[in-house]
C-alpha cells in the first residue's frame, strides 16, 4: 500500500535498483490525452544518471516503454503502464553492503521491518524508484494543461547548496534558465560556485546537500481540500516522500514565524475582476486551497549518505564494524532532484484538479 500516490490520478510505482526494471501504473487518467513516448523520455532524461560531470556516472539510458493504456497516441482511460529496464547494474559493487548497514541509508530499517532485503543498489530505497513518478508526471502535466490550465508552469530550481544561495526571481524564472546550467539553479553566478563546491566534495569523497525551491504559476483557484488533504499537506507529503528530504516549507515558511500577524497577513485587493493578494506570504494557498497566486515552497535535501570514507557501522550479524562507501553515486542529489520535485508537484495538482472536478463540477 505504500507505493501508491494520489486519490484519483493514482500512480503505483514498482521496481528495485537492480532487477527486471522499474516503472509505474497510472490509474484514473482522463481519456483522449495526447502523449508520446518522446514526451515521457524527455522528462526521464532530465532525471537520468550520468547526464553531467556532477552526477553519478552510472550509465542508464532509462528508456521508457509504454505497455498499456495508450492507443494511437492517446490515453484511453485504462491504466497506463510504463516500464524502464535496469541495464547498467553492478550487483558486485554491493557485496559488502550485503553484510554491513550503510550509515544513514535504509539498509538497517528495511531489514528490521521486513526481515529480508534486496541489498543490491539499495533495492527499493534506490532513487531509481522515482523514474515511475517522473514518467507519470509527464502525463499529469499533459492532463493539467489540456483540461485545467493551459498556461500552468511548474518550475523548480536549486535554491541553496550548503551555504551558497541563489538569487532567483520566482515570478520570472524559466525552465530554460534552470536547464542552462548543470546544477539546475536559476542564478548563473551561484551556479558556478555550487558546481565548484560539488566537485570539491566529490574529490574529497564527501557529499553536500541543499534546498530546492519550486514555483507553480497560473494554478487554478480552488485546488486542495479542507482539513486533511490541504494542498500544502499533500505537497509536503509528496516532497517528504522523496529520498534524502528533511524538510518542507510553503510561502513564508519557518521565517514567517518571525513576523507578527500584522506584517504577515496578505491583504486582498481587486485586480480587474480577479481577487488578488498584495503580498504572498501564504505561498498561494489559504485554508488548504489554492488562491490563484504563485504557489511557492522549498524542500531541504540532506547531503548524500554515500561517502567514500571509512565510517563506523554494524554488520547484519550485529557486530560493530567499519564500511567505506563504494558504488556510483551523486555527491549532491539536488541537480537530479529538480525534475523530481516538479514531477511530484504535477502529480499533486493533477490529482486535486480531478478531485475538484468530481466534487464541484467544471464551473
Q: Show contacts with a copy of itself in window 71-90 (CB under 8 A).
A: 71, 74-81, 83
Residue 356: CB minimum distance to a copy of itself, A: 7
Exactly one of 38, 150, 176, 361 binds a copy of itself (CB under 8 A); that residue is 361
Count CA atoms closer than 13 A to 227's CA, side-chain side.
0
Residue 335: CB minimum distance to a copy of itself, A: 15
The residue (of 12 and 46) whose beta carbon lies closer to a copy of itself is 12
In 3D space, the residue among 175, 132, 108 whose CA is nearest the CA of residue 314 turns out to be 108
Looking at residue 144, the DSSP 8-state letter turns out to be I
Residue 122: CB minimum distance to a copy of itself, A: 8
Residue 213, judged by CB atoms within 10 A of its CB (0-12, 13-18, 19+), counts as buried
The residue (of 176 and 270) whose beta carbon lies closer to a copy of itself is 270
- C-alpha–C-alpha distance, residues 68 and 62, integer Å: 18
- C-alpha–C-alpha distance, residues 94 and 201, integer Å: 22
The residue (of 50 and 247) whose beta carbon lies closer to a copy of itself is 247
Residue 11: CB minimum distance to a copy of itself, A: 9
In 3D space, the residue among 151, 146, 156 whose CA is nearest the CA of residue 354 turns out to be 146
252 binds a copy of itself (CB under 8 A): yes
For residues 344 and 241, the answer to whether their CB atoms sit within 8 Å is: yes
Task: Please give the residues from 29 up to 48 whose contact with a copy of itself meets the rule CB under 8 A.
Answer: 29-32
Site string for a copy of itself, 131-150 (x = CB under 8 A): ----------------x---
Exactly one of 37, 41, 61, 66 binds a copy of itself (CB under 8 A); that residue is 66
Partners of residue 269 on adjacent β-strands: 276
The residue (of 1 and 176) whose beta carbon lies closer to a copy of itself is 1
# residues contacting a copy of itself (CB under 8 A): 155
Residue 4: CB minimum distance to a copy of itself, A: 6
Packing angle, helices 334-360 and 37-47, rounded to 10? 140
* Strand 320-324 versus strand 285-286 pairing type: unpaired
Task: Please give the residues from 4 up to 33 whose contact with a copy of itself meets the rule CB under 8 A.
Answer: 4-5, 7-8, 10, 12-16, 19-23, 25, 27-32
Residue 182: CB minimum distance to a copy of itself, A: 19
Exactly one of 253, 294, 326, 328 binds a copy of itself (CB under 8 A); that residue is 253
Residue 176: CB minimum distance to a copy of itself, A: 26
Task: Please give the residues from 285 up to 324 whose contact with a copy of itself meets the rule CB under 8 A.
Answer: 285-292, 300-307, 309, 311-314, 318-320
In 3D space, the residue among 135, 177, 131, 142 whose CA is nearest the CA of residue 156 turns out to be 177
Partners of residue 300 on adjacent β-strands: 211, 247
The residue (of 152 and 314) whose beta carbon lies closer to a copy of itself is 314
For residues 221 and 73, the answer to whether their CB atoms sit within 8 Å is: no
Residue 333: CB minimum distance to a copy of itself, A: 11
Site string for a copy of itself, 90-129 (x = CB under 8 A): -----------x-xxxxxxxx-xxxxxxx----xxx---x
Phi, psi of 320 (to 5 degrees): -65, 140
Residue 200: CB minimum distance to a copy of itself, A: 10
**Which set of grid coordinates corresponds to residue 264?**
504577515
**Which set of grid coordinates corresponds to residue 53?**
560531470
In 3D space, the residue among 193, 198, 214, 157 whose CA is nearest the CA of residue 332 turns out to be 198
The residue (of 51 and 98) whose beta carbon lies closer to a copy of itself is 98
Partners of residue 66 on adjacent β-strands: 82
185 binds a copy of itself (CB under 8 A): no
Residue 172: CB minimum distance to a copy of itself, A: 24
For residues 154 and 342, the answer to whether their CB atoms sit within 8 Å is: yes
- C-alpha–C-alpha distance, residues 48 and 63, integer Å: 10
247 binds a copy of itself (CB under 8 A): yes
Amino acid at each position: 500500500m505504500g507505493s501508491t500516490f494520489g486519490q484519483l490520478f493514482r500512480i503505483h510505482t514498482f521496481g528495485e535498483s537492480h532487477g527486471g526494471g522499474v516503472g509505474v501504473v497510472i490509474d484514473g487518467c482522463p481519456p483522449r490525452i495526447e502523449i508520446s513516448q518522446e514526451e515521457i523520455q524527455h522528462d526521464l532524461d532530465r532525471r537520468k544518471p550520468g547526464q553531467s560531470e556532477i552526477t553519478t556516472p552510472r550509465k542508464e539510458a532509462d528508456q521508457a516503454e509504454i505497455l498499456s493504456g495508450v492507443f494511437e497516441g492517446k490515453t484511453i482511460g485504462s491504466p497506463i503502464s510504463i516500464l524502464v529496464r535496469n541495464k547498467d547494474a553492478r550487483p558486485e559493487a554491493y557485496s559488502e553492503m550485503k553484510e554491513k548497514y550503510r550509515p544513514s541509508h535504509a539498509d538497517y530499517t528495511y531489514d528490521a521491518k521486513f526481515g529480508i532485503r534486496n541489498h543490491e543498489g539499495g533495492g527499493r530505497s534506490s532513487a531509481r524508484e522515482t523514474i515511475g513518478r517522473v514518467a507519470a508526471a509527464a502525463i499529469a502535466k499533459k492532463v493539467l494543461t489540456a483540461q485545467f490550465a493551459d498556461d500552468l508552469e511548474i518550475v523548480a530550481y536549486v535554491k541553496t547548496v550548503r551555504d551558497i544561495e541563489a538569487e532567483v526571481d520566482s515570478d520570472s524564472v524559466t525552465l530554460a534558465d534552470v536547464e542552462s546550467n548543470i546544477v539546475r539553479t536559476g542564478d548563473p553566478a551561484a551556479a558556478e560556485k555550487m558546481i565548484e563546491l560539488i566537485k570539491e566534495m566529490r574529490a574529497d569523497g564527501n557529499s553536500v546537500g541543499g534546498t530546492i525551491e519550486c514555483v507553480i504559476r497560473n494554478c487554478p483557484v480552488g485546488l486542495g481540500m479542507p482539513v486533511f488533504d490541504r494542498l500544502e499537506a499533500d505537497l509536503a507529503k509528496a516532497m517528504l516522500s522523496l529520498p534524502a528530504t528533511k524538510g518542507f516549507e510553503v510561502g513564508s515558511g519557518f521565517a514567517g514565524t518571525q513576523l507578527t500577524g500584522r506584517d504577515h497577513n496578505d491583504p486582498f485587493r481587486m485586480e480587474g475582476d480577479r481577487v488578488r493578494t498584495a503580498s504572498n506570504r501564504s505561498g498561494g494557498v489559504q485554508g488548504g486551497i489554492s488562491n490563484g497566486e504563485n504557489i511557492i515552497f522549498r524542500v531541504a535535501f540532506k547531503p548524500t549518505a554515500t561517502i567514500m570514507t571509512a565510517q563506523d557501522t554494524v554488520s547484519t550479524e550485529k557486530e560493530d564494524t567499519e564500511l567505506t562507501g563504494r558504488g556510483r553515486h551523486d555527491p549532491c542529489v539536488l541537480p537530479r532532484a529538480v525534475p523530481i520535485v516538479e514531477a511530484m508537484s504535477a502529480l499533486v495538482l493533477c490529482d486535486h484538479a480531478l478531485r475538484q472536478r468530481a466534487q464541484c463540477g467544471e464551473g
